[in-house]
Structure 1
Amino acid sequence: MNSTTTSRRAAFRQHVAARQGLLLAGAFNAMSARIIEDLGFGAIYLTGAGVTNMSLGLPDLGFIGLSDMAEHAARVRDAVDLPLVVDADTGFGNALNVHHAVRTLERAGADAIQLEDQVMPKKCGHFAGKHVISTEEMVSKIRAATDAREDEHFQIIARTDAAAVHGIDDAIERGHRFVEAGADILFIEAMEGLSNVERLPALFEVPLLINIVIGGKTPVQSRDTLERFGYGLVLYANAALQGAVHGMQQALGRLQSKGQLDEDPTIVAPFGERQRLVKKPMYDQLEERYKAG
């Protein structure tokens, strides 16, 4: 493990612990991660839903596995320097699978992972028909995750979907058990009602992540408001995905209707901007440097 990785993880841990509502933007591939970094965000979340939607064209119903997320994590890590949180869904199995997943994703470049307490195959947190495993089974998974990490600054985010299944009180009780088991950050998914959003951070010793799903169940609040409530992380897991889908529909819709598409910056990113984002000038310099003769 190099010093850069260690210092990045330590700084990220401190930033989250400050409970200042750090915006965590979701990426679904290396290019989306580049854009997030270029725009000045402080951290990146590799979204399982985004990888499923954009790579497979399928809904978030548990169709991807550890190898998919590890491969995408390695690509994103090569592309950006920001702290990287990886969605590890249910840990892809039991506590032993979680142990293996943590080792795999840590080596792939993750700085934190998110584990959830849904029954496999999981569903998007804002879908109906979810089921959760027992508190005891999830506690075992969290313990396996904390045992498996090599770097003490590598963070475990424990997510519970129990609010939609058994009610908010059960989710809160599970949260306390997850923290006792060693979770560094708590994530109570699909909260409904502003009163719950406001009161939850004060109930726990560790920082909370809040997931804002555009069109989902949790009421949208500004980052400043969520910082005032005491959240450590404010996640927009699929804002980039939804923006990209809309952009493709706009550009290709114009192409289909008009039969041609010019370099209109209100519709498409200019050619030069695309090359800047993928660091083409840097590779031009390298090509010149290594040119034979």
Structure 2
Amino acid sequence: MLSTTSTPTERRRAFRAGLASSTLQILPGAFTPLSVRLIQEKGFHGAYISGAVMAAELGLPDIGLTTLTEVAQRAHQISRMSDLPTLVDADTGFGEPMNVARTVHELEDAGVAGLHIEDQVNPKRCGHLDGKQVVDGQTAVQRIKAAVDARRDDQLVIMARTDIRGVEGLDAATDRAKALVDAGADAIFPEAMGTLEEFAAMRAAVDVPILANMTEFGKSRLFTHAELADVGVDLVIHPVSLLRIAFGAIERGLDALLETGTLDGEVEGMQTRGRLYELLDYEAYNSFDSSIFTYTGR
């Protein structure tokens, strides 16, 4: 009832243990606090909190318009609703080294298990769009050093994302990844990789966990979990998938409402009221205060 029963440090330890295991860690993107309950119930290893999704929910493109306050608030709302580790997109750290340090503190306080900071120029853009620009190596390293130095809980995972592959190529990406690991990064997120062979090259270049971003409509085909595990990927995220599924269904429902004047034909595909209450753990609230739960229907 109300929130997770585990502490942030416990979830961070679980995240680190998962990354150190031989099992590919699968993190769907939680786009609402309630959706993370489903992700946990279905047996996934954790949940991802996407910057692109947070921007979209605010009606904004993913070009660095969200604020640290907005990201920290959403990260807290999602993280508190599950015993799963959460990994949050911290964009470029919302500024330079001092801003990065504050970002780490705010997201630590939000209860996330890990965060990633990227090497794009600020304001950034979606990692799978053309025309990205990245900062120089020294600036990228300073951001990660600032994050690592600011960390108060040594179990918090500081992940470095690099977008340089789409700008300067694979060799530049592996070189940058090595420098970011030397700066203290616990894991590497090589964005917009094109092939399994590129992931294998990144795996060979660094000795920390690596992440694969399996976003739809991106720079690569959607590799299977087995394919990614075979080339040594440790963690895969599906960042925007649930939002896209949900909004696809919403759009179809609205079209049906306009066309037929009723949603009766859509009811069969809807989540029932009973299933919603089950996810909300309404019965636990009833046990706490029997006067507030009276629903017994479908």
TM-score (norm 1): 0.93
1:7 is matched with: 10
Look up the equivalent residue of 2:143 and give its one-letter code. K
Looking at structure 1, the residues matched to 149 and 24 of structure 2 have their Cα atoms a distance apart, in angstroms, of 28
Deviation at 1:189, TM superposition (A): 0.3
1:232 is matched with: 234
Deviation at 1:274, TM superposition (A): 1.6
Q: Which runs of 5+ in 2 are unaligned?
A: 294-298
> 3-state DSSP class of the match of 1:93?
coil
2:190 is matched with: 188
Contact 2:8 2:112 in 1 (8 A): no
Contact 2:37 2:82 in 1 (8 A): yes
Looking at structure 1, the residues matched to 179 and 201 of structure 2 have their Cα atoms a distance apart, in angstroms, of 18
1:34 is matched with: 37
1:137 has 2:139 as partner: yes
Looking at structure 2, the residues matched to 91 and 191 of structure 1 have their Cα atoms a distance apart, in angstroms, of 22
Contact 2:6 2:83 in 1 (8 A): no
1:212 is matched with: 214
> 3-state DSSP class of the match of 1:35?
helix
1:88 is matched with: 90
> 3-state DSSP class of the match of 1:79?
coil
Deviation at 1:202, TM superposition (A): 2.3
2:168 is matched with: 166
Between 78-87 and 19-28, the greater mean CA deviation after superposition: 19-28
2:296 is matched with: none
1:46 has 2:49 as partner: yes
**Residues matched between the structures, number:** 289
CA deviation map 1:165-209 (0-9, x unaligned) = 111111110000000000001011001133213332122110100
1:79 is matched with: 81
Deviation at 1:273, TM superposition (A): 1.4
> 3-state DSSP class of the match of 2:62?
coil
Between 99-108 and 242-251, the greater mean CA deviation after superposition: 242-251
1:222 is matched with: 224
Q: Could you tell me the percent identity over the aligned residues?
A: 38
Contact 1:162 1:171 in 2 (8 A): yes
Contact 2:196 2:231 in 1 (8 A): no
Looking at structure 1, the residues matched to 128 and 175 of structure 2 have their Cα atoms a distance apart, in angstroms, of 21
Aligned residues: CA RMSD: 1.9
CA deviation map 1:118-159 (0-9, x unaligned) = 001110100111101111111111111111111111001100
Look up the equivalent residue of 1:153 and give its one-letter code. Q
Contact 1:264 1:270 in 2 (8 A): no
Deviation at 1:290, TM superposition (A): 9.4
Looking at structure 2, the residues matched to 149 and 34 of structure 1 have their Cα atoms a distance apart, in angstroms, of 28
Contact 2:256 2:263 in 1 (8 A): yes
Equivalent residue in structure 2 for 1:250, among 232, 249, 252 = 252
Distance change >3 Å, CA 174–CA 50, structure 1 → 2? same
Deviation at 1:266, TM superposition (A): 4.3
Distance change >3 Å, CA 109–CA 263, structure 1 → 2? farther
Looking at structure 1, the residues matched to 167 and 23 of structure 2 have their Cα atoms a distance apart, in angstroms, of 29
Contact 1:186 1:208 in 2 (8 A): yes
Deviation at 1:65, TM superposition (A): 1.2
Equivalent residue in structure 2 for 1:278, among 277, 280, 283 = 280
CA deviation map 1:13-62 (0-9, x unaligned) = 021122522111111221222222222211011111001112x1222111
Look up the equivalent residue of 1:95 and give its one-letter code. P
Looking at structure 2, the residues matched to 57 and 267 of structure 1 have their Cα atoms a distance apart, in angstroms, of 26
Q: Which runs of 5+ in 1 are unaligned?
A: none
Contact 1:263 1:270 in 2 (8 A): no
Deviation at 1:110, TM superposition (A): 0.9
Deviation at 1:263, TM superposition (A): 7.8
Looking at structure 1, the residues matched to 94 and 61 of structure 2 have their Cα atoms a distance apart, in angstroms, of 17
Deviation at 1:218, TM superposition (A): 2.3
Distance change >3 Å, CA 277–CA 150, structure 1 → 2? same
Contact 1:247 1:267 in 2 (8 A): no
Distance change >3 Å, CA 243–CA 110, structure 1 → 2? same
> 3-state DSSP class of the match of 2:264?
coil
Between 125-134 and 7-16, the greater mean CA deviation after superposition: 7-16
Looking at structure 1, the residues matched to 201 and 119 of structure 2 have their Cα atoms a distance apart, in angstroms, of 22
1:60 has 2:42 as partner: no
Distance change >3 Å, CA 25–CA 3, structure 1 → 2? closer
